[in-house]
Amino acid sequence: MAEYNRVSECVGVITLRNPPVNALSAAVRQGIVDAVQRALSDPNVKSVVICGQNGIFCGGADIKEFGSNMTGHPLIPMIHAIESANKPVVAAIEGSALGGGLELALGCHYRIAHSKARLGLPEVSLGLLPAAGGSQRLPRLIGVPAALNLITTGRHVTAAEALQLGIVDQVTDHNTVDAAVKFALSVAGRSLDPRRISTHPCPQQPDLDALFEEVMQKVRQSARGAIAPIACVQAVRAAATLPYAQGMERERELMATLFTSGQARALQYCFFAERAVGRWRMPSGARWDTSKSRPVHKAAVIGLGTMGRGITVALAQTGLSVIAVETQEKQLMEAKQAISGMLERGAKRRGVAPALDGVIYSQNIQAVADVDLVIEAVFEDIALKTKVFQQLSAVCKPGTLLCTNTSALDVDQLASETPNPELVVGMHFFAPAHVMKLLEVVYGPRSSPQAVATAMQLGKKMGKASVAVGNCRGFVGNRMLKPYIEEAFFLLEEGATPELVDQALEEFGFPMGVFRMSDLSGLDVGWRVRKGDGLVEPGTASGRFARIRQGRRYSPLGDLLCEEGRFGQKTGRGWYQYDKPGSRVARSDPWLHSFLGAYRAQHGLVARRIDHQEVLERCLYALINEGFHILDDGIAAGPEDIDVIYVSGYGWPRHRGGPMFYANMVGLAKVLERLEHYQQLHPEVPHLQPSSLLRRLVASGSPPIHKWGEAIKKLHSQL
Ligand SMILES: CCC/C=C/C(=O)SCCNC(=O)CCNC(=O)[C@H](O)C(C)(C)COP(=O)([O-])OP(=O)([O-])OC[C@H]1O[C@@H](n2cnc3c(N)ncnc32)[C@H](O)[C@@H]1OP(=O)([O-])[O-]
């Protein structure tokens, strides 16, 4: 899987052939080894070029091989053989040179990149480090600070930045392989000693210890429990302080620890899960590969509150022309100013011109008559949304797709109010909509596959992790969040504090625990929903029965805080206290603690000691249990869909793979046993009742997560 040719009489060209990204599989590695040997032993060949087919140099080691017993020629000696070759080897980098691909290029004596190429060492995002010598060569080539930055973040750099950093020797706008061949001819016969990076010392760096300490601190803070970024710093430290051979030994040891860690498995699972969700399917049998999306040239957003503004920015940044509609003049002017600011800031960050002219503002819904797709983002009220949908159906040209941005309302009910329900889908964005990666594309039983395909395609264009999900209360993300939050409330009743619950969840890896999060998003949001559900009862009734509502355990704690005007950060008080309304630093609040004490006394609850383990099991297993219900109901097509939703939109630590992956890692039997345990203790809490799918999976021998789909199909066919 590496082709060898001789061109211009004396240049051996080795082309990696392993579509789609020329990953370094065992066959490719063997191909390179054979071709290099051939080139070096051919007296007519004076220099060598390595390139990749189809405009991509190499996407790195073959990640699929990591899950199996890796066999074949190892990467490190292959790269060493190239570096120690006595003929110049030039890497011709088009498309991407990532991970092992860039490490291969660093083993070459020269690197020529196309101006559109991207280079990087993203191993850290897969729970690994650049362990084919990358952690040792890159600091020698570009210095410790720049190498630390690239290796610990895994960010990709443009060819221009790579040239500036000294990673590549030349950038071309023309045919890269031709440029590399020409270059290879020009350097034939020159001494190669200065070009062998592993023989260089690391560039001197003043205050090396202070630098590493500072970076390590920063990395520990942002890693939130992930071990790979820390190992990356340790590996670069070895490059800076040890001779190359010893540095390589340290790289190997660190990699061995990472490679077998659960975190690497989780992160690699996330990589494939993110790609798997693009291959969506609906219970009707409609699928991504048999459903054609419609072209969208012009879109509209109705309602320019926080969500509508973010959605307008996200659409305009893709280059679409957008009609932004807000009926009140004052709100329209405010929105215009805010959207222009967001577009300008975004463009500055990305180094492009702001798409200000791409947005046309209007007070009149008639302005959307000729758009291809509308995203309605008015207030979360079914009567209002229904009215807007009816107006849109009358105004829009035939075939316009009508999307609703809702986090909870019934998409099918809305669709049924329009003459063409097949054109209606939900697009559940997350605030701020131009920043947050997640998009739930919600289909009802009548949504056409074409409508789903179009919304999914648009999501991809906006750079979102788009996941197609069925229609139910809360869809996937918020439906699973409900039992998680309820368990956290129950834990407070039983003796925990917001600080204890949040600490357990933050140590697990969430950026914020449930109570800090609730203070940030506003306690009034859930209060309004609970009121709508008829759950909120004013008054001070006490005892157990005051906490049983609609036949199940209910905690009115959140309602009581709202009655006190404690809505979270925006009022300066919530589960924590803040210096002033709008301030972000949460401080423990003695008032809250005595309030909890009084509440427990009023309801005859005796506080007991609750540890982190119980917090995690009660909150997370309740959430996971709901995930199994969702799979059983066919609302999510597979565990990957749920996991991508949680990792991209709900702060689930990526190095733990997502809730369903985590359940698989913990062991389904263990999750079932703990749910049964808590259900016995709390029989009035239905969400602790283990899902029948979880029971059936355990009964069928707890298949690994990649086999759940098959198992679910089989279990359903047996029903
Ligand atoms: C051992 C020592 C140290 C070395 C470690 C490493 O190198 S670790 C590696 C470090 N390297 C990285 O982390 C780079 C990872 N890759 C990427 O970042 C991107 O794929 C891209 C930028 C190369 C192309 O983006 P794009 O949007 O054009 O395309 P796309 O993303 O949709 O992928 C298309 C298909 O290719 C598949 N696939 C991709 N890469 C690999 C791989 N390495 N392997 C296997 N498969 C891979 C991908 O699953 C998908 O398959 P599907 O779903 O069609 O069956």
Q: From residue 506, how far is each of 223, 512, 526, 574, 675 by CA, in Å?
A: 12, 6, 22, 19, 22
Q: Which atom of ligand 1 is nearest to the CA of 122?
A: 13
The protein residue whose alpha carbon is closest to atom 25 in ligand 1 is: 21
DSSP for 48-86, written as a single string: EEEEEGGG--B--B-GGGGGS---SS-HHHHHHHHHT-S
Confidence category of residue 539, pLDDT binned at 50, 70, 90? low
- CA of residue 49 to ligand 1 center, whole Å: 23
Confidence category of residue 719, pLDDT binned at 50, 70, 90? low
The closest of 259, 252, 204, 205 to 227, measured between CA atoms, is: 259
Q: Which residue has the tokens 């080795």?
A: 14
DSSP, res 299: E
The protein residue whose alpha carbon is closest to atom 51 in ligand 1 is: 275
Is 676 an annotated catalytic residue? Answer: no
Residue 131 amino acid letter: A
Residue 546: its pLDDT value, please? 74
- CA of residue 272 to ligand 1 center, whole Å: 9
Q: Given 103, 251, 486, 617, which residue is catalytic?
A: 103
- What CATH number matches the domain at 496-602, 3.40.50.300, 3.40.50.2000, 1.10.1040.10, 1.10.3720.10? 1.10.1040.10
- Cα separation of 491 and 556, whole Å? 13
Can you give the pTM of this predicted structure? 0.95
DSSP, res 574: S
Q: Which residue has the tokens 């404690």?
A: 566
The protein residue whose alpha carbon is closest to atom 10 in ligand 1 is: 99
Kind of pairing between the strands at 118-120 and 156-158: antiparallel
Confidence category of residue 709, pLDDT binned at 50, 70, 90? confident
Residue 594 amino acid letter: S
Average pLDDT score over residue span 571-595: 97
- Cα separation of 188 and 176, whole Å? 18
Confidence category of residue 386, pLDDT binned at 50, 70, 90? very high
- Render pLDDT for 227-252 as a digit per residue (tens, 0 to 9): 999 999 999 999 999 999 999 999 99
**CATH class of the domain defined by 612-718:** mainly alpha
Which secondary-structure segment (H or E) carries 451?
helix 449-461
Residue 540, number of CB atoms within 10 A of its CB: 8
Could you give the ipTM of this predicted complex? 0.99
| Tokens, residue 4 | 């060898």
Residue 269, number of CB atoms within 10 A of its CB: 27
- Cα separation of 475 and 197, whole Å? 53
Is 334 an annotated catalytic residue? Answer: no
- CA of residue 710 to ligand 1 center, whole Å: 25
- Render pLDDT for 321-373 as a digit per residue (tens, 0 to 9): 999 999 999 999 999 999 999 999 999 998 899 999 999 999 999 999 999 99
Phi-psi category of residue 669: left, alpha or beta, with phi > 0 → left and psi -120 to 50 → alpha:
alpha
Domain coordinates in residue numbering, the chain = 2-259, 298-474, 496-602, 612-718
- Cα separation of 617 and 614, whole Å? 5
User: What residues contact residue 243 under an 8 Å CB cut-off, 6+ apart?
Assistant: none
Residue 99: its pLDDT value, please? 98
Residue 710: its pLDDT value, please? 84
Q: From residue 249, how far is each of 113, 151, 255 by CA, in Å?
A: 30, 18, 10
3-state helix, strand, coil in the chain (%, to 5): 55, 15, 35
Residue 568 amino acid letter: G
Phi-psi category of residue 155: left, alpha or beta, with phi > 0 → left and psi -120 to 50 → alpha:
beta
Average pLDDT score over residue span 598-607: 94
Give per-residue burial for 190-211: e unless 16+ CB within 10 Å, then b. Answer: eebeebbbbeeebbeeeeeeeb
Residue 543: its pLDDT value, please? 67
DSSP for 72-133, written as a single string: SS-HHHHHHHHHT-SS-EEEEE-SEEETHHHHHHHHSSEEEEETT-EEE-GGGGGT---TTT
- CA of residue 508 to ligand 1 center, whole Å: 28
Residue 7, number of CB atoms within 10 A of its CB: 14
- Cα separation of 23 and 54, whole Å? 13
Ligand 1 cavity residues, CB under 6 Å: 20-21, 23, 59-64, 75, 96, 98-100, 122-123, 126, 128, 130-132, 272, 275
Mean of the per-residue pLDDT values of the chain: 95
Percent of the chain exceeding pLDDT 90 equals 91
The protein residue whose alpha carbon is closest to atom 19 in ligand 1 is: 59
158 pairs with which residues across the strands? 118
Residue 312: its pLDDT value, please? 98
Average pLDDT score over residue span 526-542: 82
User: What residues contact residue 68 under an 8 Å CB cut-off, 6+ apart?
Assistant: none
- CA of residue 271 to ligand 1 center, whole Å: 8
Over the Cα atoms of the chain, what is R_g?
29
Average pLDDT score over residue span 257-271: 95
401 pairs with which residues across the strands? 373
Which of 21, 94, 255, 257 should be mutated for ligand 1, with most atoms under 8 A from CB?
21
User: What residues contact residue 528 under an 8 Å CB cut-off, 6+ apart?
Assistant: none
Q: Given 83, 94, 123, 617, which residue is catalytic?
A: 123
The closest of 282, 324, 286 to 302, measured between CA atoms, is: 324
- CA of residue 18 to ligand 1 center, whole Å: 11
- Cα separation of 300 and 315, whole Å? 9
User: What residues contact residue 624 under an 8 Å CB cut-off, 6+ apart?
Assistant: 480, 659, 660, 662, 663, 671
The protein residue whose alpha carbon is closest to atom 40 in ligand 1 is: 59
- Render pLDDT for 456-489 as a digit per residue (tens, 0 to 9): 999 999 999 999 999 999 999 999 999 999 999 9
Cis peptide before 20 (omega within 30 of 0): yes
DSSP, res 577: B
Confidence category of residue 140, pLDDT binned at 50, 70, 90? very high
Q: Say if residue 542's pLDDT is above 70.
A: no
* Dihedral, CA of residue 171, residue 175, residue 177 and residue 183, to nearest 10: -50
Which secondary-structure segment (H or E) carries 301?
strand 298-302
Residue 17: its pLDDT value, please? 98
* Dihedral, CA of residue 466, residue 472, residue 476 and residue 481, to nearest 10: 140
| Tokens, residue 341 | 């600011």
- Cα separation of 690 and 674, whole Å? 9
- Render pLDDT for 189-212 as a digit per residue (tens, 0 to 9): 999 999 999 999 999 889 999 999
The closest of 125, 214, 117, 242 to 175, measured between CA atoms, is: 117
Q: Say if residue 408's pLDDT is above 90.
A: no
- Cα separation of 182 and 203, whole Å? 30
The protein residue whose alpha carbon is closest to atom 50 in ligand 1 is: 275
- CA of residue 501 to ligand 1 center, whole Å: 38
Confidence category of residue 717, pLDDT binned at 50, 70, 90? confident
Q: Say if residue 541's pLDDT is above 80.
A: no
Residue 537: its pLDDT value, please? 81
Q: Which atom of ligand 1 is nearest to the CA of 56?
A: 23
- Cβ atoms of 394 and 403 within 8 Å: the answer is no
Lowest-pLDDT choice from 363-372, 564-573, 620-629, 704-713: 704-713
- Cα separation of 709 and 540, whole Å? 48
CATH number for the segment(s) 298-474: 3.40.50.720
Q: Say if residue 127's pLDDT is above 90.
A: yes
Which of 63, 138, 260 should be mutated for ligand 1, with most atoms under 8 A from CB?
63
Phi/psi of residue 120, nearest 5 degrees = 180, 165
Q: Say if residue 92's pLDDT is above 70.
A: yes
Same fold, 2-259 and 298-474: no
Q: Say if residue 718's pLDDT is above 90.
A: no
CATH number for the segment(s) 2-259: 3.90.226.10
